[in-house]
Amino acid sequence: MRMGSVPPYDATTAAINTTQDIFSDADSMPVPPVLHNAGEIEPLSLYNTGAEDTSAILASDAPPFLGIEGDPEPFAFNYLDNVCLPPFYDQATMYPNLSLADPFTSPTVDIGPFPPDQIDRTGHAAESSPRVVSQLIAHNESDRNGHAASFVRVSQEDWQWLSGQMSQFPTVIPADYQMPSRHAISRYLHGFLAGFHPHFPIIHPQTLSFRDMAPELILALVAVGSHYCLESHQGLKLFSIARGIALEQLRRRDIEMDSRTNALSLDPSWPLLQSPKSLPSLNHRERNENETHAFPDYQGNHADLETMQALFFLMAMATWGGEHRSLVRQAIATQSILAMLVRQHGLSEHSITPRGWEDWARQESARRTKLIIFCFFNLHTMVFNLPSPILVGDVQLRIPCSEWEWKMQDSASWMAAHQQSTQPPLFQDCFTALLQETNNTPTYSSLGGHILIHAMLQRIISIRNSTRLEGMENEMFPGLTEPLRRALKKWQSGWEQNPESSYSPLDKHGPIAFNSRALYQLAHIRFAVDIGSSRSLLEQSPTQIAKRLLGGPRLQRGPRLLVAARHSAAALCSPVQMGVHFVGRAPSSWSVMHAVCSLEYAYTLNQFLQATTPELLEYPLDEEEKALLATVKETLLEVETSTPRGNPKSIESEPRLLGPKVVRAWGIVLDGMRTWNAVCVITKVLFLYADLLEQNL
């Protein structure tokens, strides 16, 4: 089975596919499209429509009722294996890219030329052990969505192999458990690659083989992908099995490691049991070789890496479980296990030259995995108010390579790109350069910028928590924050210079830069306000969170609130331009991260609107406040006119309603997103918060 790219759609293919319904049985239905994908699925041609002579094909493969003489075997046509997938929504550019510096007035960001990495999408032969190569990511310069993945088809042999792998863990698998069909697994893998993978690109599909992957990793991908197919009930079953297998794998490796260590400790020739005088003189290289032989290096242990990746995907799934409290508790428990595995695997670089494309991909995948886990721990801090077990100072890795190099489809094209690329800088060097009082702006990839903005957010949150005093919850000492403000300006400059950056969630380079922009805006908000414990999704219901937001202290007018409100308003511009009712229901690159940030966007902008209400003004509005207020009114006017029961006239006639309207607008934006329960929880909070604000006017 080869997971391949599919041929372009044409009229001949459409005609052939139309005839497939004749061969299907009554119970067979077309495979539904995966939701929240940024790409487009093209139909799969059943027969060869080229210019070759088809007589040989008909004579050998055609069913008996076509009148061709041959063996009277049953017709082997499988509808589910050959059905076309419905195409996704054509995601053309729906609005211009806006500058991050001034989202209201600046021209579009100059994306500049992108390296030519056109992909040949014609080959789709089947193999028993698939290579996920050019068939998973069709990164074509002409496509707007280069991170989209083709449909993944799992053969019966692959399904049986996976079933056999799972049977090796009888204590984990329930006796009555029935594994999803190969069609469901194919659907879920596609859901993962199309929906989740673009936001957290840590596995390298081009160099992965289905039967070479650890079973816990496959099951974790399938569990996450089921949510993007709106079949989360399967994901919940797979979650416990995948997590159980991952933990059992770790337990077995620990036992093996202990037995090897004990065996070595009983060997009289083992160096540690010999007296110093009897030890031969070893140079540094020989000593390192002996230590490596005695204790396997976690840095090169690919099995541990795949288990780490599986646990990360499961932790992410459990984190976004929202209303499933048991899942959220398991996400918190998995955090400590992952932190230990990351440290064992290594948070520093080793100067090992890769032997080729696949070796390089493994090293880069390991680096990305550990850095993304560091970022996700920061998301736990934002969502649950839990301190991260990995701090900025612990990370001594290089930042990830460019997405251009990462998405190369074969060894030859990768080698050409790799020779043109420079070695990514160390994370600590980039972070230090951002903090320094110089005009030098470090260069980094989109994912590198994403990791750096996470690092700055961690520092901002740490400073705020360490200096929090009663009655000064929203105060930060200028001497501590000035380097971070300077770092944010430099980061913004680097973001705009990156050719992979975009203000659009539909950009062909993927959603990483768009997600980073959301965190950049959140960082500016955190300088002015911290809703902290009020927002925690760990122990509170939506009603409790809404009430705590309502009871929070009012923010005073001033430059800090103005800057935070500007970024909050800018964040609302994108979904309003697309259409607030459309965003949540259309395939896009919006992630749960945007939902988490939206709660703080809504709270901050409401605080600004309350502070600038005419009845409460202590002194007249300045020009910047007037300009921002006009922008907010224009944005809300667009929301009101696009809502069936909207009241555009209330924008000017009832200024006290502007705050509740902003909060409700964010609720409308998120209301159509059904992939993860955490988004549903945040949506409920926003609507409840808007209702409470209106009731207390």
Rounded CA gap, 300 and 297, in Å? 6
**What secondary structure letter does DSSP report for 439?**
S
pLDDT band at 81 (very low <50, low <70, confident <90, very high): low
Q: Residue 289, Cβ neighbours under 10 Å: how many?
A: 12
Closest CA to 369 of 217, 194, 228: 217
Q: Which residue has the higher pLDDT, 305 or 673?
A: 305
Given a cut of 50, whether residue 134 has pLDDT beyond it is no
Contacts of 605 (CB under 8 A, 6+ apart): 565, 568, 569, 572, 632, 659, 662
pLDDT at 267: 59
Given a cut of 90, whether residue 221 has pLDDT beyond it is yes
Q: DSSP for 523-587?
A: HHHHHH---HHHH--SS--HHHHHHHHHTSPPPPPSHHHHHHHHHHHHHHHHHHHH-HHHHTTS-
Minimum mean pLDDT range among 326-340, 437-451, 467-481, 629-643: 467-481
Q: Which residue has the higher pLDDT, 268 or 212?
A: 212
Given a cut of 90, whether residue 602 has pLDDT beyond it is yes
Q: Which residue has the higher pLDDT, 433 or 507?
A: 433
pLDDT at 535: 72
pLDDT at 530: 79
Tokens of 428: 């600590």
Rounded CA gap, 447 and 124, in Å? 30
131 forms beta bridges with 209
Sign of CA dihedral 496, 498, 499, 500: negative
Over residues 386-414, the pLDDT tens digits come to 999 999 999 999 999 999 999 999 999 99
Contacts of 695 (CB under 8 A, 6+ apart): none
Over residues 226-251, the pLDDT tens digits come to 999 999 999 999 999 999 999 999 99
pLDDT band at 314 (very low <50, low <70, confident <90, very high): very high
pLDDT at 581: 87
Read off the pTM.
0.77
pLDDT at 478: 65
pLDDT at 271: 53
Given a cut of 90, whether residue 75 has pLDDT beyond it is no
Most confident region among 150-154, 378-382, 470-474 by mean pLDDT: 378-382
pLDDT band at 541 (very low <50, low <70, confident <90, very high): confident
Given a cut of 80, whether residue 91 has pLDDT beyond it is no
Given a cut of 70, whether residue 202 has pLDDT beyond it is yes
Strand locations in 590-692 (E): none
Q: Residue 141, Cβ neighbours under 10 Å: how many?
A: 13
pLDDT at 142: 36
Given a cut of 70, whether residue 531 has pLDDT beyond it is yes
Phi/psi at 568 (nearest 5 deg)?
-65, -40
Tokens of 465: 């928590």
Q: First-to-last CA distance in the chain?
A: 63
HSE-CB at 182 with a 13 A cutoff on CA atoms is 17
HSE-CB at 361 with a 13 A cutoff on CA atoms is 20
Q: Which residue has the higher pLDDT, 15 or 620?
A: 620
Per-chain mean pLDDT for the chain: 77
HSE-CB at 664 with a 13 A cutoff on CA atoms is 15
Given a cut of 80, whether residue 110 has pLDDT beyond it is no
Q: Residue 255's Cα: distance from chain center in Å?
A: 34
Q: Which residue has the higher pLDDT, 366 or 509?
A: 366
